[in-house]
Chain A
Amino acid sequence: MTTRVLLNLVHPIFEKSWANQAMLEAIRDLDYVYVNDLYEEYPDYFIDIKREQKLLLEHPLVIFQHPFYWYSSPSLLKEWQDLVLADGFAYGEGGYQLAKNHWLNAITAGAAKDSYTPEGFNQFSTEELLRPFEQTADFCGMNFVKPFIMYEAETISHSAVEKEAIRYRDYVDSLAKSLDLLSDDEPVEED
């Protein structure tokens, strides 16, 4: 089937991340998700811009699954944003081609949920910390949907991780359904 959701997996040491593996494993149940492993595709950071843009146009929902490195993402995702969300494509003259797309951050965070509060050592809420992503999406006219976050990803038990992964899958599935991505009338295809 043609895939409707693009999963941009961004993890430099995916092989060591139990949580991200479990999440990917769970998401594979959804056959309409296309997995694009960025560190595997572009180990030398030489991103194939055309390919990435094409993938975005073909998939109305794009997920960025990544660890919460320094309150953000691994650096390849930043490079990806800088190059792929280019002037004339994502914004600017002849841009805004992603205006009907949805943006989802799916994040694994090491710390506990209550640390992302004014009293906690992380001070700021994840909502605040994710503002750059939100604003980027918004700037491009994309719909920034509520992020999925797995807290304490490295310390909770395996079974808890598995549970979180299922929650992730169900969330994506419910999004895909509520956003009506799976119906046959294709929303956006190349202009």
Chain B
Amino acid sequence: MEEASFLYQAFIFLLAAVVGVPIAKQLGLGSVLGYLVAGIIIGPFAMGLVGQDVTDIMHFAEFGVVMMLFLIGLELQPKKLWKMRMPILGLGGLQVVITMVLLTLLALVFDLHWKMALAIGMIFALSSTAIVLQTLSEKDLLRTDAGKSAFSVLLFQDIAVIPMLTLLPLLATLPVESSQSVGHTELEAWQQAALVFAVITGIILVGRYLVRPIFNWIARTGLREIFIATSLLLVLSITIAMQEIGLSPALGAFLAGVVLAESEYRHELEVGLVTFKSLLLGLFFITVGASINLELLMQSPWLILLLVTALIVIKIIVLMILAKQFKMALIENLLFSFALAQGGEFAFVLFSFASQNGVLGQDIISLLTVVVALSMALTPVLLIACEKVIIPRLSFGKERREFDTVDDGETPVIVAGYGRFGQIVSRILRSQGFDTTLLEYDAVQIDLVKKFGTKAYYGDVTNEEVLRAAGADTAKLMVIAVGNQEKTLKVIDLCHKHFPHLKIYSRAKGRREAYEQKKAGADIVMRETLGSAVILGREALMGLGYRKYQAHRTATAFYHYDSQHLEELAEVWGDKQYVIKAAERAEMLEAVLKADQADSSAMRRAWNTPVSLEEEESDDEENRDAESDGAELKNKPQES
């Protein structure tokens, strides 16, 4: 397959994904399994549509895992991460150590040298971040206890790779085939440590102080693709930096994500990267499928099957016991344990590293690679079995704990467009203690309001994902104050399609725009000039000598009648052509004026305190006696 050009390969991979994933989804198997099976089918050992060199593509696709961790980091403010320190260190740490010991012992049973056994134990102790997180997020389990614990363990494993990379060369038993190594292992330990420290500090500092102005500057250009390119560049730079010092790029990206979790560009970064992440992850899963060496599997099926089973069972048992110690509910525990019971993508990296350093021989590595890949492919199947077969059989039935309260980011109101208009709306709401999520597409504006201590998020509100990330699923109201008709209509449409529970309050330029927005389905539409024009009209009346209250009443009358007619006309608008609309408008204006007149004649009659028509009011001397006067007056006006 040497002639396989890049385009041809891309074609095959995309085709496999496009055919495989929807089918798998339809069968209820989830996308991961779809990718894996598609990979097996197009792989060198089945149809052979892609070359033997899938491992190169796999390493490229691993960038998807890095991006995934970056995106997860974006969701996780440092405070939340700090709260997770116990599960990360406790659960994660114990999982890695205990699993490593047990697997090492198992390897010793196979009569391997203890150094080899230890290396294998280490490598197999890791699980697959990509498979686990993708599968859990697809099942919407990431926010459950099981999901969060699984994530903690995976995070610790990413950290654990650092000492593993340091230790592996010490376990060499075979002649070293090349001195090439991952990272600068030839440095002294303290130098290495200092380097690691420096790079991590660098990432944090850059994320905190440099990234914001850069994005700011980029956002000002208004070029969306450059913004996305910048996001990609950011993640890529971290990856390279981490690889240079021999750390897990995923870990570095995660860290950078956490640092940026509080930046106003969070939503936009998410949106820009999420597609790339998903595609690359898909590609990664396909390559995992394609790399399963079916020939080897055919040669020694029983041995491989035994190893895969042993790996999965040992992992599940360790995880279950630990989860129980950490007081996880049984159902969560099962999900958690089944989710993490596989070898991880880091095994592939560590295998090649181990082979370079003469720790493991090529024959063992090819065998174990199949074991890892198979265990990965089995994870979605195991989870389905767990969900569909095991959990329903538990006598406690299906009750799962409510989704955990990670809701400190939820606000009842989303304000799209934080310009002068949105600010007033939002400030009124906030004054009453209602939190608002502010979205704004103008970086300059974001900067401006930041100076006043308000945080608006940078994001394109006509993007469904931005709205979702802003919490449209849980919010109650959507205030659209963007002042652009096309965008406003788009947002109204999006809300109707994807978030039908949201009540929509929208800003319209004029009458025509208001009609269109009403038609599109906005609940409350307000013309942006109406309020201020009415008030100015009131002021003008005062300037002409009206007493303030009269002026106020007249202006208010106009406001009420005008709004009312707008409501009425909105329903007929759009059915016919402009001419008719214009006629209606004229008719309506007349109606407003008439109504106004009718009202002012009513007002002239108002406040005419009933006076006695026949006699002068008895004077104002004593209030307390008014009662007796009243008695006298009682019937007189009636006769008049």
Q: What is A's interface to B at a CB cutoff of 8 Å?
A: 44, 46, 49-50, 82-83, 86-89, 91-92, 96, 128, 131, 135, 138-139, 141
* 28 contacts across the A-B interface (CB closer than 8 A): A44-B556, A46-B553, A46-B556, A46-B557, A49-B599, A82-B606, A82-B607, A83-B603, A83-B606, A83-B607, A87-B605, A88-B605, A91-B610, A91-B637, A91-B638, A92-B610, A92-B637, A92-B640, A128-B627, A131-B627, A131-B630, A135-B630, A135-B634, A138-B634, A139-B610, A139-B634, A139-B637, A141-B638
| A96 and B560 contacting across the interface, CB-CB below 8 Å | no
Q: Which of B556, B599, B602, B627 has the largest number of chain A CB atoms within 10 A?
A: B602
Chain B nearest Cβ from A18, distance in angstroms? 22
Please, what's the 1-or-0 string for B224-246, where 1 marks a CB less than 8 Å from any CB in chain A?
Answer: 00000000000000000000000
Q: Which residues of B contact A44 (CB under 8 A)?
A: 556
Q: Which of A87, A96, A128, A131 contacts B638 (CB 8 A)?
A: A96
Chain B nearest Cβ from A90, distance in angstroms? 9
Chain B nearest Cβ from A38, distance in angstroms? 16
| B630 and A49 contacting across the interface, CB-CB below 8 Å | no
Q: Which size bracket describes the interface of B in this complex? A: 10 to 19
Question: Looking across the interface, which residue of chain B has its beta carbon closest to that of A53?
Answer: B602
Say yes or no: is B395 at the interface (Cβ < 8 Å to chain A).
no
Q: Which of A86, A131, A135, A141 contacts B606 (CB 8 A)?
A: A86
Q: Which of A49, A131, A141 contacts B602 (CB 8 A)?
A: A49
Interface residues of B in 586-640 (CB under 8 A from A): 599, 602-603, 605-608, 610, 627, 630, 634, 637-638, 640
Give the docked Cα–Cα distance between A158 and B195 (Å).
71
Give the docked Cα–Cα distance between A139 and B607 (Å).
15
Q: Which residues of A contact B560 (CB under 8 A)?
A: 46
Chain A nearest Cβ from B622, distance in angstroms? 15
Give the docked Cα–Cα distance between A131 and B556 (Å).
33
**Which 10 A-B residue pairings sit nearest by Cβ, starting from the closest?**
A86-B605, A83-B606, A87-B605, A87-B608, A46-B556, A49-B602, A135-B630, A82-B607, A86-B606, A88-B605
Q: Which residues of A contact B627 (CB under 8 A)?
A: 128, 131
Chain A nearest Cβ from B405, distance in angstroms? 28
Q: Which residues of A contact B602 (CB under 8 A)?
A: 49-50, 83, 86
Question: Looking across the interface, which residue of chain A has its beta carbon closest to that of B627?
Answer: A131
Chain B nearest Cβ from A56, distance in angstroms? 14
Give the docked Cα–Cα distance between A96 and B637 (Å).
10
Give the docked Cα–Cα distance between A50 and B605 (Å).
13
Question: Looking across the interface, which residue of chain B has its beta carbon closest to that of A50?
Answer: B602
Q: Which residues of A contact B640 (CB under 8 A)?
A: 92
Q: Which residues of B contact A82 (CB under 8 A)?
A: 606-607
Give the docked Cα–Cα distance between A135 and B560 (Å).
33
Give the docked Cα–Cα distance between A44 and B638 (Å).
33
Give the docked Cα–Cα distance between A87 and B634 (Å).
16
Give the docked Cα–Cα distance between A143 and B630 (Å).
17
Q: Which residues of B contact A138 (CB under 8 A)?
A: 634
Chain A nearest Cβ from B626, distance in angstroms? 9
Q: Which residues of B contact A46 (CB under 8 A)?
A: 553, 556-557, 560
Q: Which residues of A contact B608 (CB under 8 A)?
A: 86-87
Known: A82-B607, A131-B630, A141-B638. 19 other contacts (CB 8 A): A46-B556, A49-B599, A49-B606, A83-B603, A86-B602, A86-B605, A88-B605, A89-B605, A91-B637, A91-B638, A92-B637, A92-B640, A96-B638, A131-B627, A135-B630, A135-B634, A139-B610, A139-B634, A139-B637
Chain A nearest Cβ from B50, distance in angstroms? 67
Give the docked Cα–Cα distance between A82 and B609 (Å).
8
Question: Looking across the interface, which residue of chain A has its beta carbon closest to that of B637?
Answer: A91
Give the docked Cα–Cα distance between A138 and B600 (Å).
27
Chain A nearest Cβ from B527, distance in angstroms? 18
Q: Which residues of B contact A88 (CB under 8 A)?
A: 605
Give the docked Cα–Cα distance between A84 and B599 (Å).
12
Please, what's the 1-or-0 string for B435-451, where 1 marks a CB less than 8 Å from any CB in chain A?
Answer: 00000000000000000
Q: Which residues of A contact B605 (CB under 8 A)?
A: 86-89
Question: Looking across the interface, which residue of chain B has its beta carbon closest to that of A136?
Answer: B610
Q: Which residues of A contact B553 (CB under 8 A)?
A: 46
Give the docked Cα–Cα distance between A96 and B638 (Å).
8
Chain B nearest Cβ from A50, distance in angstroms? 7
Question: Looking across the interface, which residue of chain A has its beta carbon closest to that of B640?
Answer: A92
Q: Which residues of A contact B603 (CB under 8 A)?
A: 83
Give the docked Cα–Cα distance between A44 and B627 (Å).
33
Q: Which residues of B contact A92 (CB under 8 A)?
A: 610, 637, 640
Please, what's the 1-or-0 string for B553-581, where 1 marks a CB less than 8 Å from any CB in chain A?
Answer: 10011001000000000000000000000
Question: Looking across the interface, which residue of chain A has its beta carbon closest to that of B613?
Answer: A92
Give the docked Cα–Cα distance between A49 and B560 (Å).
13
Question: Looking across the interface, which residue of chain A has its beta carbon closest to that of B560?
Answer: A46
Chain B nearest Cβ from A143, distance in angstroms? 14
Question: Looking across the interface, which residue of chain A has its beta carbon closest to that of B557?
Answer: A46
Question: Looking across the interface, which residue of chain B has its beta carbon closest to that of A93?
Answer: B640
Give the docked Cα–Cα distance between A82 and B553 (Å).
14
Q: Which residues of B contact A86 (CB under 8 A)?
A: 602, 605-606, 608
Question: Looking across the interface, which residue of chain A has its beta carbon closest to that of B601?
Answer: A88
Q: Which residues of B contact A96 (CB under 8 A)?
A: 638
Question: Looking across the interface, which residue of chain B has its beta carbon closest to that of A132?
Answer: B630
Q: Which residues of B contact A139 (CB under 8 A)?
A: 610, 634, 637-638
Q: Which residues of B contact A87 (CB under 8 A)?
A: 605, 608, 610
Give the docked Cα–Cα distance between A86 and B599 (Å).
13
Please, what's the 1-or-0 string for B535-563, where 1 marks a CB less than 8 Å from any CB in chain A?
Answer: 00000000000000000010011001000
Chain B nearest Cβ from A53, distance in angstroms? 9
Chain B nearest Cβ from A51, distance in angstroms? 11
Q: Which residues of A contact B606 (CB under 8 A)?
A: 49, 82-83, 86
Chain B nearest Cβ from A95, distance in angstroms? 9
Q: Which residues of B contact A131 (CB under 8 A)?
A: 627, 630
Q: Which residues of A contact B630 (CB under 8 A)?
A: 131, 135
Give the docked Cα–Cα distance between A87 and B599 (Å).
14
Give the docked Cα–Cα distance between A135 and B630 (Å).
7
Give the docked Cα–Cα distance between A135 and B640 (Å).
17
Give the docked Cα–Cα distance between A65 and B560 (Å).
26
Give the docked Cα–Cα distance between A131 and B633 (Å).
14
Give the docked Cα–Cα distance between A83 and B549 (Å).
14
Chain B nearest Cβ from A57, distance in angstroms? 15
Please, what's the 1-or-0 string for B150-164, where 1 marks a CB less than 8 Å from any CB in chain A?
Answer: 000000000000000
Give the docked Cα–Cα distance between A131 and B630 (Å).
9
Q: Which residues of B contact A128 (CB under 8 A)?
A: 627
Question: Looking across the interface, which residue of chain A has its beta carbon closest to that of B609?
Answer: A82
Chain B nearest Cβ from A173, distance in angstroms? 30
Please, what's the 1-or-0 string for B387-424, where 1 marks a CB less than 8 Å from any CB in chain A?
Answer: 00000000000000000000000000000000000000
Q: Which residues of A contact B557 (CB under 8 A)?
A: 46
Q: Which residues of A contact B637 (CB under 8 A)?
A: 91-92, 139
